[in-house]
Chain A
């Protein structure tokens, strides 16, 4: 400690004139301010700002100068032997010199800053919009000065010690930066949501600074301790330590990135976000929390085989036959250099392979696959384009139609016809939209012609869904009443003509097409859950059966779990989704006789958002895989055997 103090004091004493320079540099700020009128508005702020800039500039300049000269400079000039031929431990030489460099630089800068600060605005804490308390500002300044000292030390070590290690420096520095960026990119890309990726970048930048800082501290210590007066060996010790440490950090980061990236759907811990099921087959899309820092992930998952495909997008659409899925993935920005753009991905679910299709849709959500999955339509701002993606690697453009405006959903009615239908709006202020928003447009891909096929009666903006066979549209209009109830209507396609009003006065209304030309409608009326069955043969005008399921505030309509039997979950309250889920009751209702069989509590149909997310409802089929998939109260995806009531956990580890 005595040796450290001696070295520190000597280095500071040798540079004592710098303190005088600092004091002198602070005075002009006050003098200029006095000439301008001491108490003129804003003068105190100007003084503080000038003092801050001046102080920072002097501190940084001195830090660079001393950082570069104190150890590497003296080593190159063979003057560092003065310390090594005396009873001074290498650690004391290292710490004494570098801390003296930091102390002198920071103190000189602070002396420039001091007069402006003392005469500045009382209580002023914000500099350039950064609200820092005095202690925080001092720490930030100190960190900046220390960073400059060590950075200058590193640069001068490489430049002046002239050892062959410089080749390694020049090779490893960019290589490690590149590898680190690749690892960070992999971690950030793993996130489904963009803001998590951005947070990852911010944390990565802070971590990189910490690694470089720690590496420089270790490397400079090794340089002095192992290199001593030998310039080549000093450089070697510096480079080996710094790059060894940095390589270990990058390797750890790479390992972590690999560990994060190698997760599959079975690593999903909870599924709080979305589960969207394919209309046919056993594939589904699931997203949820995943291992790793703020980890989340999304996958296409085959409930039958357990295979999964990593998806870096939120919206996935399936073809009606369940053989294909498509989604948009945002480009990350660096390396590709096209930040903010999207790539379209198409997966062949039969083989479990996905390929990137260079269509660059305007956003990830506005696309639809044809019933066979061989065609895809992408609605970009101002245009609607259809492609043949039979060979996903070589998409062929079929047609492009100009669109006058935004705000519509898409649906295929067969392989050749596209329907552009009014898009879901849920707030009353959209009432003033022009009437054209309610038109139904039909596009023929073979003739490349479009026509106005029909229109909705304008009351409020409707929420519409197309039947899988393209025969019907279901429309929901929200009423402006106290209970916020809705009207559910059945429309003919493509004219939009009203066939029947299926429900009126329902809250949380939903519908499914069932086998046997039937429709199930669920909703809450008067704090009680209702389930209505309609049969086409008997005419759509009135329900063939109405089942009162008892008190509930929300209802989730599932699929036809067995022929004529519909799963429905009742949630007793709103406002606390997790608690409501846990308290929910699952019932299976027989359309033929209205009988209700209660199952284990806490199960909600997995495709609970399917009604809201997809512009095309699943085809009427009973007992297909998706109808037996449920989310339990612990966020796990389970398969329910309707016959025995047994459940099998497919995804998620629970709480």
Chain B
């Protein structure tokens, strides 16, 4: 996982997804929607692309699916330029769009029959079984289903082709807790069975946290973070301590310089800080500093890390 583009080489297999210097600019917009984005997704990983509304996630997904041409840069799937080879590459993909786009008049069964003509390994029986598990009627027109049911049908359609890559564009947006849970459970099952590579965007950080192996944060069109989730969570900590002024340290927070603090709050009882470069040895030295009293470090959830980095909740609420 790297922020720099990796050229596909003969020795190492090409990453499933590779984005190189992607720039997307719309008409008269003053700044680009996506600015020089580069990242890659290795085979078997689950890459969660996070960002606020309008951060450019959907534009990035459309470019990744070959549905939209970037202003500059390129996207590669399985080492091939997706803009040029979209049709053939799509046979290896399962896609769940943000907005349901299947023809409203078609039933899930008709959609399955349509897709069966297009995919070489279409598994209609597994689709029917999934729909039965979800409790979604296969004979009801797509447009008559609830939003949650439409998302589940879309997931079932995406999985029925046994894809090598799943692209999920905020699939649980607007779903209730039950539908969201059913969606993620099915996804976890699929990953456990086949190890499919997944790229998903989501606002549901709690749901994503249990799935994702890698995380990318989009902020104002820039990829500000691109990392394995475990590493990310390993280097982010919340530190709490009481601080006594000494001759050497006359300001609060100065002692946190070694941890790359991203947020520092001074409270009545002391200091609370979120740091992005935590290490046990550094923490031991920190705790023994003159003036640092009762120092403790605790882990952060993905949502807490997101808030610390973005300064906002994923949905845009100021923290």
Spell out A's residues near B (CB within 8 Å). Answer: 2-3, 5-6, 10, 14, 78-82, 84-90, 163-164, 226, 228-230, 232-233
Contact = CB atoms under 8 A, between A and B. Distances in A.
B90 A230 contact: no
A80 to B, nearest CB: 8
Given A87-B91, A87-B118, A164-B27, A228 B103 contact: no
Interface stretch (B39-47, B59-67, B197-205, B274-282): B59-67
A232 B27 CA distance: 9
B22 interface: no
B93 A85 contact: yes
Nearest to B115: A86
Contacts of A164: 27-28
Given A6-B114, A164-B27, A230 B87 contact: no
Nearest to B59: A230
B101 A79 contact: yes
B235 interface: no
Most chain B beta-carbon neighbours within 10 Å: one of A78, A229, A233? A229
A90 B87 contact: yes
A78 B99 contact: yes
Contacts of B26: 232
B103 A82 contact: yes
Interface in B83-117: 86-91, 93, 95, 97, 99, 101-103, 105-106, 114-115, 117
A226 B86 CA distance: 12
26 contacts: A3-B87, A10-B106, A10-B114, A78-B99, A78-B101, A81-B62, A81-B67, A81-B101, A82-B101, A82-B103, A85-B65, A85-B67, A85-B93, A85-B95, A86-B115, A87-B90, A88-B87, A90-B86, A163-B27, A164-B28, A228-B66, A228-B68, A229-B62, A230-B67, A230-B68, A233-B69
Nearest to A2: B117
Nearest to B91: A87
B118 A233 contact: no
A614 B43 CA distance: 95
A230 B26 CA distance: 11
Contacts of B105: 14
Interface string B1-39: 000000000000000000000000011100000000000
Given A85-B93, A88-B118, A229 B87 contact: no
Contacts, number: 75
Interface residues of B, number: 29
Contacts of A85: 65, 67, 90, 93, 95, 97, 101
A90 to B, nearest CB: 7
B119 interface: yes
Contacts of A233: 68-69
A393 B105 CA distance: 73
Nearest to B95: A85
A87 B87 contact: yes
Contact of B86 (A14, A84, A163): A84
B97 A89 contact: no
A651 B181 CA distance: 92
B227 to A, nearest CB: 28
Contacts of B103: 10, 14, 79, 82
B205 to A, nearest CB: 25
A103 to B, nearest CB: 18
A232 B103 CA distance: 22
Task: Kindly list the 5 A-B residue pairs having the minimum CB-CB distance in the complex, ordered from nearest.
Answer: A87-B91, A85-B95, A229-B67, A6-B117, A87-B90
Nearest to B105: A14
A85 B62 CA distance: 9
Nearest to B96: A85
Given A86-B90, A89-B87, 20 more contacts: A3-B118, A5-B117, A10-B106, A10-B114, A79-B101, A80-B101, A81-B67, A84-B67, A85-B93, A85-B101, A90-B87, A163-B27, A164-B27, A164-B28, A228-B67, A228-B69, A230-B67, A230-B69, A232-B27, A233-B69
A87 B117 contact: no
Interface of B: 26-28, 62, 65-69, 86-91, 93, 95, 97, 99, 101-103, 105-106, 114-115, 117-119
Given A79-B103, A232-B26, A232-B27, A87 B88 contact: yes
Contacts of A10: 103, 106, 114
Contacts of B119: 87
Contact of A81 (B69, B88, B97, B115): B97
Nearest to A11: B103
Contacts of A86: 90, 115, 118
Contacts of B69: 226, 228, 230, 233
Contacts of A89: 87
Contact of B106 (A6, A14, A78): A14
A41 to B, nearest CB: 47
Contacts of B62: 81, 229-230
A89 B88 CA distance: 8
A81 B27 CA distance: 21
B277 to A, nearest CB: 40
Contacts of B88: 87
A45 B114 CA distance: 45
A85 to B, nearest CB: 4
B69 to A, nearest CB: 6
Nearest to B68: A230
A90 B27 CA distance: 24
A226 B105 CA distance: 27
A46 B22 CA distance: 66
Contacts of B102: 82
Contact of A229 (B28, B68, B90): B68
A513 to B, nearest CB: 81
Contacts of B28: 164
B137 to A, nearest CB: 19
Contacts of B114: 6, 10
A230 B62 CA distance: 9
A6 B106 CA distance: 14
Contacts of A79: 101, 103
Nearest to B99: A78
A85 B106 CA distance: 17
A240 to B, nearest CB: 14
A641 to B, nearest CB: 74
Contacts of B95: 85
A102 to B, nearest CB: 19
